[in-house]
Amino acid sequence: MIVIRPIQSSDYEALYQCAVESGFGFTSLPIDEELLQRRIEKAERSFAKQHITSPGDEGYLFVMENLSTQEILGVSAIEASVGLSEAFWHYRLGKEAHYSEKHNVRRLLDTLTLCNDYTGCSELCTLFLREPFRENRNGRTLSKFRMLFLAQFRERFSKKIIAEMRGVSDAEGNSPFWGWLQKNFFNMEFSQVDYLTGIGDKTFIAELMPRHPIYVNLLNKEAQEVVGQVHKNTVPALNLLKSEGFSFRGYVDIFDAGPTVEGRVKYLRTVQASELRTVRVGPVSSSDTVLACNQELQNFRALQAEVDMNDEEVMITQEVADALLVADGDTIRVAPF
């Protein structure tokens, strides 16, 4: 049985292994022992907080675990509110019109303007499933369960939620967009910039990034082509978020120009479709698969399972009940998978 649960301090080695395997461009999982330890500690504090009525600096980090082998398959996270303790930067794609009536010249130019427009939004982040376990819809489960968590603990999150998509880079971590920035404004490798951002050292952004809007047509051809585009390995994750109701509104990452997508929590497909059902434990004859989670915070559990459902109840097996830490008569949240 595979479940998703809050991370614990004992999961450090597994988290570090995920950081190693995630490779270049995965900013939120840098290979840094101190940072990873801090993320675990922050998550433990966040899950322990009671009586939250509005989002703050909480960060909820989860692991996917095979209960039979106790092996960690991947990680996933939600930040309650970004940009509160440090600036949260993006480029905003815009338009600038140049017009000369006398010479009958009209030009509509694309621009990139540095901004902090997403400050205060919640964020889906740190989604990584290890290569050997990318099967049996584990990836979809590891992403979509977060919608159940949002629905169950709505007061802990902002009304708007975003997700930064990994931009285009090669196997060595070279980004065409960063190559242009590096040549004109920096003297730093992309891997170094990615690492510094991941550990929270962002002062160099305000110091070295271009302070005025960038005309996209002044970028070299390779850089222009990747603005708003995702890494090939990120396409499935992007498509899944689009199916939930996320959309691209013209904001891109400041280093690799990958797109950021946004949605309204209450309109997300799985949030809207989720509902509370009374648990009945027994044999299951249906092949209907749902996402399910309990209503606990520190002991949160989520999984995909085959169930039988009627108007108010959901029949689950004893194995599923044990994995969710629930018993007959308890209430769980379920959503179509």
Q: Point out the residues that are catalytic.
A: 231
Amino acid present at 145: F
Using an 8 Å Cβ cutoff, are 155 and 253 in contact? no
Backbone angles phi, psi at 114, to 5 degrees: -65, 135
**234 near 165, Cβ under 8 Å?**
yes
CB 19 within 8 A of CB 78: no
User: Which element (helix H / strand E) includes 161?
Assistant: strand 160-164
Tell me the one-letter amino acid at 318: Q
Query: Distance (Å, rounded) from C-alpha 179 to C-alpha 190?
Result: 8
Nearest alpha-carbon partner for 208 in 175, 182, 179, 169: 182
- 42's CB contacts (< 8 A; 6+ apart) are 58, 59, 61
User: Could you give the C-alpha distances from 199 to 22, 33, 38, 106, 195, in angstroms and in order?
Assistant: 16, 10, 10, 45, 6
Instruction: Check if the beta carbon of residue 285 is closer than 8 Å to that of residue 124.
Output: no
Tokens 């950021």, residue located: 260
* Alpha carbons 166 and 24: distance in angstroms, whole number: 10
d(CA 240, CA 231): 15
